Each structure stands twice: as structure tokens, then as C-alpha cells.
């Protein structure tokens, strides 16, 4: 399949691109480098041994996107391009609504005009808010969003449903749990700008001595060790879920379908720290601090629907992810 990958130079987009090539597809990348760097494209080439077609554009340029869809005979789109920092979305909500929603509308408009009807969309477990029960299934009630980033994901899901009803669009919404790790080659991974907000980048930077110590945000949650529990999914497994979603769309599954992409198991913050130390033989100084505002105690997926209907399940472990995250961190400093 010829697949347009928006945000293909980003953390998840770049690794998905390499998996697309492994699966025999032909990815075409668009990215505006708003939160990614040009060397990523060279590293994709090193891993795949292929020079891929790339366009430096903002996805809000609908005319250009339309032309790219036509010129490259695109069969399906994987739409990653979006902003994702929760705190920044609170400080600058209009930037988030503009980029994430105008971006999606532009992609859908270009697809409609070019006659491309299959899309895989990056949603997030954030749409579930604080769940009533775990593991979370896809039909759990969605909670009112607590920040503009989460609001853009819920609104985007609605936009895709409406576009499907009206224009015959076929969409798979993948609700990611907590993506971590890096490409095992150490050539592709996350590039956090400034102080990381997410746990694993903070852990790797603390182990590398860039940060003095990690703060564990709360040890008084109703969890086995009191620290927050999340479903950490290796980014390579997550990338493979997109290939499974494309195959699902290709086998005449019309309309909109939604899948959790997680491992089905929760790990606590303290477990992540201990596992990181064990597999990498490094120290991670930490202290227990207060809860972070907006955080929840426990969140992990029911991964059954993805296994049954997409034929996908996570294969890699927390150990694998934390090893690969550390290799990536060390390469970044070279």
C-alpha cells in the first residue's frame, strides 16, 4: 500500500515508517519539523536502506496535501501530526485547537477531494479520564476532558465519526496508552524539548545526570505500592498496531472502529524505576513528592479487542522498552 504518514519524523511516526517498510508498504512522509528534526529522516534511511519520499509541509496546507495524495497514488493515511504536551495545551489552548483540529480537518478535506477513504488516527487513553473500572474496554464512558490536549482528541474522534457518516470515510481510532522505549537500533526515539513531563524520558535523563533526581508524584494512591499505575507500551509494538489497522481497513471494514493499544498490564512508577535500574545497571536517584495535579491513580487497557479483531498484541516487555530507552538516551548525548 502507498501510505501517507503525517508527522512521519516524530517519535511514533518515524518508527511506524520503518515498520511500514518492513511490512512491504511504501510510506510517504510529511512533516513540518515543529517538534522533530531533520536527522530523523537520515536515520529512517539507515534502518530501512531506502530513500523515502518526503515533503516539508504543514498539514493545514490542504492544496499541497491534495497534490501529494494524488501524485503518490496514496491508498491510506496515518495521521500522527499533532501537538501533545498537556501542560502547554493548558497555557496555550488556541494553539492546540488550531493545530490539532485544523490539521485533521485539512487532512480529511484533502482525502475527500482525492478520493482516499482510509485513515488511521492517533487517539489517546486520555479520552477515558479517570476510569470507573480497569482494565478499560473500548466501550467505557468517555469523561469530560480535563485539558485542551485531551479535548482535541475527543473532538477529533467525533469529527472522524461525522465524516464517516457523511462521506463514507473509513477510520480506525487507536487509543494509545503510555508509549515508551525507542527503536532497538538506538537511531530513533523521543526528543523531549526542555524538561520532560513524561516519566520515562525523565528517568533516562536522571540516569544520565542531566537531572539531579526524579520526583515520584505521590505514593498514596490506591495501588499496590501507592505510586501511579500505567500501561506502558513499547513504541515498536505500537508502530506495528498501525500496520494491523491498515490491514483491517483494507479488508473492507467500513465505518469507524476504535481500539485500545496497550499491553493489558499496569506497572507502577516505583516498578518502572526498579526495572530501569535492574536492566541497565544504573542508578536513578528519586524522592517521593506530592501528587501531580490532574493525575489519576490507575489506568491500563483491556487489550482483547485489538487482539481479536486486529490480530495484534504487544510482544515486547517493559524490560525491552526501558533498555531501548536507555540506549537511545546514551546515543543522544554522543
Q: How far is the CB of 249 from ligand UD1 (least distance, A)?
A: 24
Contacts of 38 (CB under 8 A, 6+ apart): 9
> Distance of alpha carbon 136 from its chain centroid, rounded?
18
Q: How far is the CB of 324 from ligand UD1 (least distance, A)?
A: 16
Scan residues 36-95 and list those touching ligand UD1 (CB under 6 A): 86
Q: Decide: is 191 part of the binding site for ligand UD1 (CB under 6 A).
A: no
DSSP per residue over 73-122, as a string?
T--EEEE------HHHHHH-HHHHIIIIIIHHHHHHHHHHHHT--EEEEE
Is 55 catalytic? The answer is no
Among 46, 51, 167, 292, binds ligand UD1 (CB under 6 A): 292
Q: Is 230 in the site for ligand UD1 (CB under 6 A)?
A: yes
User: What mask of x and - would describe binding to ligand UD1 in positions 2 to 21, judged by CB under 6 A?
Assistant: --------------------
* Nearer to ligand UD1 among residue 55 and residue 121 (C-beta): 121
For ligand UD1 (CB under 6 A), the number of binding residues is 19
- The Cβ-side half-sphere exposure at 17, using a 13 Å CA radius, reads 35
- Written as nine digits, the cell of 20 is 511500514
- Which is closer to ligand UD1, CB of 27 or CB of 150? 150
Q: In terms of CB distance, is 269 or 303 closer to ligand UD1?
A: 269
Of these, 209, 285, 290, 294, which contacts ligand UD1 (CB under 6 A)? 294
**With the CA atoms of 138, 139, 141 and 147 taken in that order, what torsion angle do they form, in degrees rounded to the nearest 10?**
30
The dihedrals phi and psi of 179, each to the nearest 5 degrees, come to: -70, 130
We find the least distance from the C-beta atom of residue 194 to ligand UD1, in angstroms, to be 13
- Residue 35 half-sphere exposure toward CB, CA atoms < 13 A: 19
- What value does the CA radius of gyration of the chain take, rounded to a whole number of Å? 19
The interface mask with ligand UD1, positions 263-282, x = CB under 6 A, is ------x-------------
* Residue number, nearest CB to ligand UD1: 228
Relative orientation angle of helices 103-114 and 62-71, to the nearest 10 degrees:
40
Question: Which segment (39-47, 213-221, 239-247, 255-263) binds ligand UD1 by CB under 6 A?
Answer: 213-221
Considering the complex, state which of residue 55 and residue 149 has its C-beta at the smaller distance from ligand UD1.
149
The single-letter DSSP state of residue 310 is I
Residue 228, interface with ligand UD1 (CB under 6 A)?
yes
Q: What cell numbers appear for 9 in the block?
A: 519524523
* Catalytically annotated residues: 149
Amino acid at each position: 500500500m502507498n501510505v501517507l504518514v503525517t508527522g512521519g519524523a516524530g517519535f511514533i511516526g518515524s518508527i511506524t515508517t520503518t515498520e511500514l517498510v518492513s511490512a512491504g508498504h511504501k510510506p510517504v512522509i510529511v512533516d513540518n519539523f515543529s517538534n522533530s528534526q531533520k536527522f530523523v529522516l537520515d536515520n529512517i534511511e539507515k534502518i530501512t536502506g531506502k530513500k523515502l519520499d518526503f515533503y516539508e509541509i504543514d498539514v493545514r496546507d490542504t492544496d499541497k496535501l491534495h497534490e501529494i495524495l494524488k501524485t503518490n497514488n496514496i491508498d491510506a493515511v496515518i495521521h500522527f501530526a499533532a501537538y501533545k504536551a498537556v501542560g502547554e495545551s493548558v497555557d496555550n489552548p488556541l494553539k492546540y485547537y488550531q493545530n490539532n483540529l485544523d490539521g485533521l480537518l485539512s487532512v480529511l478535506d484533502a482525502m475527500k477531494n482525492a478520493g482516499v477513504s482510509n485513515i488511521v488516527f492517533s487517539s489517546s487513553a486520555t479520552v477515558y479520564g479517570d476510569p470507573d473500572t480497569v482494565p478499560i474496554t473500548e466501550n467505557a464512558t468517555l469523561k469530560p476532558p480535563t485539558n485542551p490536549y485531551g479535548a482535541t482528541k475527543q473532538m477529533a474522534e467525533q469529527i472522524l465519526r461525522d465524516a464517516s457518516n457523511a462521506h463514507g470515510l473509513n477510520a480506525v481510532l487507536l487509543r494509545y496508552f503510555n508509549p515508551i522505549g525507542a527503536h532497538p537500533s538506538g537511531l530513533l526515539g523521543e526528543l523531549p524539548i526542555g524538561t520532560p513531563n513524561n516519566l520515562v524520558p525523565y528517568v533516562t535523563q536522571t540516569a544520565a545526570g542531566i537531572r539531579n533526581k526524579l520526583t515520584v508524584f505521590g505514593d498514596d494512591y490506591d495501588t499496590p505500592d501507592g505510586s501511579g499505575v500505567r500501561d506502558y507500551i513499547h513504541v515498536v509494538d505500537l508502530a506495528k498496531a498501525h500496520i494491523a489497522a491498515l490491514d483491517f481497513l483494507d479488508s473492507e471494514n467500513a465505518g469507524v472502529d476504535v481500539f485500545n493499544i496497550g499491553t493489558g498490564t499496569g506497572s507502577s512508577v516505583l516498578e518502572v524505576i526498579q526495572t530501569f535500574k535492574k536492566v541497565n545497571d544504573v542508578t536513578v536517584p528519586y524522592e517521593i513528592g506530592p501528587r501531580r495535579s490532574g493525575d489519576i491513580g490507575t489506568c491500563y487497557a483491556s487489550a482483547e479487542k485489538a487482539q481479536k479483531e486486529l490480530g495484534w498484541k504487544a510482544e515486547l516487555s517493559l524490560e525491552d522498552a526501558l533498555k531501548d530507552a536507555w540506549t537511545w538516551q546514551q546515543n543522544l548525548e554522543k
